[in-house]
Structure 1
């Protein structure tokens, strides 16, 4: 009797839920009252599928933090709708003829959210924090500042004098930066969050980045609410120098890793934007979404890659033949057609289409044919690798991924392919975002899900990840030949020579050593309300909401 009553109640709830979902779908574009209210209030509602571990620009390393930090901070430059650098805190700059010296002239109306002026000394302070060899934990992106003369030496304790680093405030509104080598993309790189200024009040407060009361920011918005596990809210910064061009009054972010909840919230009007890079549209709902919400669906190929990575220090993946066997034993076309269903392209290299090459697109100029999907060869390599290691049976293998319905479905499909094609049982394990990142950084895994979106439009952003000195190298890979190729490309002003170095480096990563397992090149999948304008989705899939507005 109790079971029957429960089933009846569940049936009633499903009926009510279906009716509500139908109502939400019918008004997905927003009715006239909804449009008028949104235009009046200018409050944007989005979702983050994971809670950012930190809002400290020196410590951040994930797309969730990236999106929110872009709302709260501004660097020397920012990127426009064409991903080109335009004035930010710096209103203009001079570049020496040899490309080594940059002199940034800061605008005098740039202020922190508390009213203090943003000065060149704030940039020096922030960059020194990133490079400080005693920072705990070590900032993962410290190597991004190695383009600056003396930065690497200071970070590696070869010198203890920060005055030897090529960054100095010649006065409150002039920042002089001297590079080690000419770097054509350095200007764009200064828009990245690791290069953001930080208010000097954080100096003696290690918990400043977790408390809205101590988050003094210089961008279009300031953090006003952070309720762990529930909501993050930023409010228009009245002291931002370009305040007149910021139309939104507030951006509210829910925190849910459920794609189904996100889509339902979008349909019902609770969200104005849903999908990548910070949310998710359920893969099994894509056929319905394409049909019912086609005018609100944005499908855009982007320069980002979805891959699995091997911990090359952990058994059994310290053996290259075993890594190659696992890589070759997948059907990528089956994954993108039957699992993700968002028009992604199978990946057989690491650098995605859309990244600049010598004259055009790197991927067009250099095909990604570093391996093939060959089940028979995969079985052979697995047996050879096991014999080399003295295995009669393969040690237990676990694949970890961060909590997400999409990641889970891909992981289960991949594990099933490994079972069918290699006869190997692989356990899958989902982990909360912060735990997942910590386990990857500490090499506490065997295989892990990963994705990479470029920090700037040059192949270097895909290769300096895996040098032995990179703070983002969480696979345990150390290779002198690889380091030398990346170092040569960093030092060279010959673009043809740089691209040749990149091809050799990619071949070493993907073909020779197979430390990465590419799966597909991303497509940005997003739903955007028709009355929401000004959302910028760049070449990498990054989304900038700062100039968005409702009409």
Structure 2
């Protein structure tokens, strides 16, 4: 239980083409480094289907990319954005009073460096410069359209000095995240940049995934990792789940009545008529410095050359009935 799954074809299935494979075995492995080691020993035919969030450790990606099996690495632009969330209800980043601090922490991040260090030199992710809605989706603001993604250490220091001259408000800050090689690399680089570019010491704490999500939803964290992978290509999926007042997956307590009104109206319109309003809502979040954008995900997976069939797209794995194993 919770360690592996086995799938077999359904007899007399109505679809086409009929499945070729008689069985597909899936191991559920949290540590992808161990999965890759087994893949290298021909213990797996594929690593990454079902969880293509760019979580293959950067060092493994670089090693494989530079080696003879580089063609077995596959990359797909994903629909996931990762950002820094701030507690909008309590603590140093709360409300209007915390805006300058939120903006300072965002402008202190050099995303080019972040992507280089944490994402295999930009292989497994790209800098999130066009708003929180991922690149390629409806509602994306455009490359370099989000001023919160700009690196400006001088302005960041000025904002910090104005908002917290003695650094008493931000003393003892802990950046919270859920475990994983990718999340850890991001967290450690943020810690380094905030120290170097702001002169602020931020501790790190990794919490088991389920507990992390529960505590984040209860708004128990001050500053933390946040992300979203789109369920479908519509801005409503982002705003109603994350950004409107009392959004179920928000975790921040962010609330802006103007945004709520825009989103409510946009949700009732046809998609093409609603996009302008959703983009206005995104601009309100930028004006509020409600988040610190980090990266857009690139899905990475490994597949043996003898695995034949369609490859995953941004939203889905391939249909397994179309997969087959060539003679090898």
Does TM, normalized by the shorter one, top 0.5? yes
Which SS does the other structure have where 2:164 is aligned? helix
Q: Which residue of 2 aligns with 1:327?
A: 106
Q: Distance in 2 between matches of 1:395 and 1:374?
A: 22
Q: Which residue of 2 aligns with 1:246?
A: 19
Q: Indicate conservation of the 8 Å contact 2:175/2:203, yes or no.
A: yes
* 1:12-38 Cα shifts (integer Å, max 9, x gaps): xxxxxxxxxxxxxxxxxxxxxxxxxxx
Q: Distance in 2 between matches of 1:264 and 1:398?
A: 33
| Change in CA separation of 1:307 and 1:544 when aligned onto 2, cut-off 3 Å | farther
> How many residues are treated as equivalent by the alignment?
314
Q: Indicate conservation of the 8 Å contact 1:316/1:395, yes or no.
A: no
Q: Distance in 1 between matches of 2:53 and 2:144?
A: 30
* 1:359-400 Cα shifts (integer Å, max 9, x gaps): xxx444x7523332111111111222226xx96452321112
Q: Which residue of 1 aligns with 2:32?
A: 259
Q: Indicate conservation of the 8 Å contact 1:347/1:368, yes or no.
A: no
Please report the TM-score for the alignment, with normalisation by the length of structure 2. 0.86
* 1:242-280 Cα shifts (integer Å, max 9, x gaps): 386333333333233223212111111122222352673
Q: Distance in 1 between matches of 2:186 and 2:271?
A: 40
Which SS does the other structure have where 1:470 is aligned? coil
Unpaired runs of 5+ residues, structure 2, are: none
User: Of 411, 425, 438, which residue of structure 1 is paired with 2:214?
Assistant: 438
Q: Which residue of 2 aligns with 1:468?
A: 245
* 1:475-519 Cα shifts (integer Å, max 9, x gaps): 211221111111111112372x4222122111122x212222211
Q: Indicate conservation of the 8 Å contact 1:273/1:529, yes or no.
A: yes
* 1:192-229 Cα shifts (integer Å, max 9, x gaps): xxxxxxxxxxxxxxxxxxxxxxxxxxxxxxxxxxx24x
Q: Which residue of 2 aligns with 1:299?
A: 75
Unpaired runs of 5+ residues, structure 1, are: 1-226
> Is 1:515 the equivalent of 2:293?
no
Q: Distance in 2 between matches of 1:308 and 1:458?
A: 22
**Following superposition of structure 1 onto structure 2, how do residues 118-197 of structure 1 map, counting pairs within 5 Å?**
none
**Following superposition of structure 1 onto structure 2, how do residues 9-20 of structure 1 map, counting pairs within 5 Å?**
none
**Following superposition of structure 1 onto structure 2, how do residues 65-80 of structure 1 map, counting pairs within 5 Å?**
none
4+ residue runs over 6 A deviation: none
Q: Which residue of 2 aligns with 1:100?
A: none
- Aligned Cα root-mean-square deviation (Å): 2.5
Q: Indicate conservation of the 8 Å contact 2:32/2:56, yes or no.
A: yes
| Change in CA separation of 1:248 and 1:448 when aligned onto 2, cut-off 3 Å | farther
Q: Which residue of 2 aligns with 1:477?
A: 254
User: Which has the greater radius of gyration?
Assistant: 1
Please report the TM-score for the alignment, with normalisation by the length of structure 1. 0.53
> Is 1:280 the equivalent of 2:62?
no
What is the deviation of 1:532? 1.6
**Following superposition of structure 1 onto structure 2, how do residues 312-391 of structure 1 map, counting pairs within 5 Å?**
312-318=88-94, 319-341=98-120, 342-343=122-123, 344-348=125-129, 349-356=131-138, 362-364=140-142, 368-371=145-148, 372-386=150-164
